[in-house]
């Protein structure tokens, strides 16, 4: 499948911002099942943009704007050919050993409730795949999909206690639960084709990957209760949201800030056409 992505992030300020710096993890890389045909990341204000590969293997841009601005728009456009691999992830850059992804972070720390959820999923499971599918459904059952209930600082413990959240929260709780029973897991950011019409959404997507002996890394989209298919574009990876966030930055001045995000993913011509 060929997917076309149009992703626009706009910051507006009620007073001029003399300086801002943004870290952009917005560029997918090729691996088995994903081929990037074209891709661009541009900023409305110009500025200086440098690219590098971070410690997780993510292609990252640093955007520096050092002149006064009331508005900053970051526009992403691209085309990616995808194949359905049944959730299996292979051919990716892996700078860290699997044990690294057992590390807890502030956002993915577990507590008694998360460990209990993981224990129930593990109980009588014939293998890790069965356990992880049970865990995916248990997390989704426990956390209703509802926007406005959480934000980028919400932890896995808080999200499970709250009982409502979005894809970021589902991924964090799944990751915390998997790590609590010794299964390496990580956070993934990217894009999802929601419909054939390419309807607009207000955010990119997030899911998790877990390391399964004999299979390798396998994706689990808790929000949709599925393993990623050819409707997904994988972009960034990290221990949690903070290390795979599409856009993170700081600024000096500017007063109040408003943020608007528009993401459109549509199916284009089939791969090879």
CATH code, domain carrying 71: 2.60.40.2250
Whether 205 contacts 167, CB under 8 Å:
yes
Q: Is the same domain home to 48 and 151?
A: no
Lowest mean pLDDT among 45-49, 133-137, 179-183, 201-205: 201-205
Q: Is the same domain home to 19 and 71?
A: yes
What pTM was estimated for this model as a whole? Answer: 0.94
Place of tokens 């499971």: 125
Segment holding 132, helix H or strand E: helix 128-142
Mean pLDDT of all residues in 146-169: 97
Q: Is the same domain home to 141 and 232?
A: yes
- Is residue 47 very low, low, confident or very high in pLDDT (cuts 50, 70, 90)? confident
In a domain, 272, yes or no: no
CATH code, domain carrying 206: 3.10.620.30
Higher pLDDT: 268 or 170? It is 170
Higher pLDDT: 41 or 255? It is 41
Separation of alpha carbons 211 and 132, rounded Å: 10
Place of tokens 């050819």: 230
Q: Is the same domain home to 201 and 140?
A: yes
CB atoms within 10 A of CB 96: 15
Indicate the length of the chain as a whole number: 273
The one-character DSSP state at 99 is G
Q: Is the same domain home to 155 and 234?
A: yes
In a domain, 68, yes or no: yes
Q: Above 90 in pLDDT, residue 46?
A: no
Separation of alpha carbons 11 and 74, rounded Å: 9
Mean pLDDT of all residues in 99-110: 97
| Gyration radius from the chain CA atoms | 19
In a domain, 213, yes or no: yes
Mean pLDDT of all residues in 101-111: 98
Average pLDDT, the chain: 94
pLDDT reported for residue 270: 43
Q: Is the same domain home to 123 and 190?
A: yes
Separation of alpha carbons 35 and 48, rounded Å: 27
Structural domain containing residue 43: 2-82+247-267
Q: What's the start-to-end Cα distance of the chain, in Å?
A: 10
């Amino acid at each position: 499948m060929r997917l076309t992505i149009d992703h626009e992030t706009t910051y507006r300020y009620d007073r001029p911002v003399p300086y801002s710096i943004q870290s952009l993890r917005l560029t997918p890389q090729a691996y088995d099942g994903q081929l990037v045909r074209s891709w661009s990341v541009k900023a409305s204000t110009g500025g200086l943009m440098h690219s590098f590969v971070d410690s997780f293997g993510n292609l990252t841009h640093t955007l520096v704007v050092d002149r006064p601005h009331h508005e900053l728009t970051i526009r992403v456009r691209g085309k990616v050919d995808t194949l359905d691999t049944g959730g299996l992830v292979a051919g990716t850059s892996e700078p860290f050993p699997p044990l690294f992804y057992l590390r807890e972070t502030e956002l993915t720390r577990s507590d008694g409730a998360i460990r209990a959820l993981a224990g129930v999923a593990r109980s009588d499971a014939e293998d890790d795949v069965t356990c992880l599918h049970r865990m995916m459904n248990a997390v989704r059952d426990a956390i209703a999909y509802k926007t406005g209930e959480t934000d980028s600082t919400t932890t896995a413990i808080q999200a499970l206690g709250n009982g409502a959240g979005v894809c970021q929260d589902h991924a964090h709780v799944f990751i915390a639960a998997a790590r609590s029973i010794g299964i390496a897991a990580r956070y993934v950011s990217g894009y999802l084709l929601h419909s054939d019409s390419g309807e607009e959404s207000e955010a990119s997507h997030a899911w998790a990957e877990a390391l399964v002996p004999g299979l390798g890394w396998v994706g689990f989209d808790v929000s949709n209760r599925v393993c990623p298919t050819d409707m997904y574009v994988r972009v960034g990876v990290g221990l949690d949201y903070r290390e795979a966030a599409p856009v993170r930055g700081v600024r000096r001045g500017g007063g109040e800030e408003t943020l608007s995000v528009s993401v459109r993913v549509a199916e284009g011509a089939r791969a090879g056409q």
